[in-house]
């Protein structure tokens, strides 16, 4: 397998993983709206796994791109546009376009979910404060004697 093919394969794997992350973020949004904390917790663990996979894929992509640059005597910054120009393969620009689109969608969905989580936290704080007013420590402390009349 050439370094060009290896880069294409790793980019396709990144696209699959980002799609999976986006799907999880959409599912997380639904769980946040429907107030399903157990499912949110499970999804968080799945997201951690996908993010770890994406980190490993990114490290491999960087390694492959650097190897490609060395093999083709390319100095300076190298990106998918440069690789497309050197190889004449337009698939790199298509993959770049898909990655950019997915990353924008992930960012938007992540921001939206973050807003939902912040609102939930504020709701919990408000509710906790409200119920805290009725705790034993804050309740009026009265002492008295209960008298009964026997007839």
* pLDDT computed for residue 75 by the predictor: 85
145 lies in some domain: no
Q: Is residue 37 part of a domain?
A: yes
Better-predicted residue by pLDDT, 45 or 75 = 45
pLDDT at residue 139 above 70?
no
Average pLDDT over residues 115-126: 83
Q: Which carries the bigger pLDDT value, residue 136 or residue 70?
A: 70
- Look at residue 34 in the predicted model and tell me its pLDDT: 87
How many other CB atoms are found less than 10 A from the CB of residue 113? 19
CATH (domain of 64): 1.20.58
Per the structure, the complete domain to which residue 112 belongs is given by 3-128
* pLDDT exceeds 70 at position 19: yes
Residue 51 to residue 45: CA distance in whole angstroms? 10
pTM of the model: 0.79
For the chain, the domain total comes to 1
DSSP letter for each residue of 83-142:
HHHHH--THHHHHHHHHHHHHHHHHHHHHHHHHHHHHHHHHHHHHHHHHHTTSTTTS---
Q: Is residue 121 part of a domain?
A: yes
């Amino acid at each position: 397998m050439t370094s060009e093919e290896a880069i294409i394969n790793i980019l396709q794997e990144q696209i699959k993983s980002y799609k999976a992350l986006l799907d999880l973020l959409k599912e997380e949004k639904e769980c946040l709206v429907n107030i399903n904390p157990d499912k949110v917790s499970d999804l968080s663990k799945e997201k951690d796994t996908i993010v770890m996979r994406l980190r490993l894929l990114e490290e491999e992509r960087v390694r492959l791109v650097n190897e490609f640059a060395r093999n083709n005597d390319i100095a300076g910054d190298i990106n998918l546009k440069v690789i497309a120009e050197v190889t004449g393969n337009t698939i790199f620009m298509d993959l770049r376009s898909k990655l950019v689109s997915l990353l924008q969608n992930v960012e938007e969905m992540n921001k939206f979910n973050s807003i939902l989580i912040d609102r939930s936290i504020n709701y919990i704080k408000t509710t906790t404060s409200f119920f805290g007013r009725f705790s034993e420590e804050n309740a009026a402390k009265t002492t008295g004697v209960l008298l009964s009349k026997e007839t």
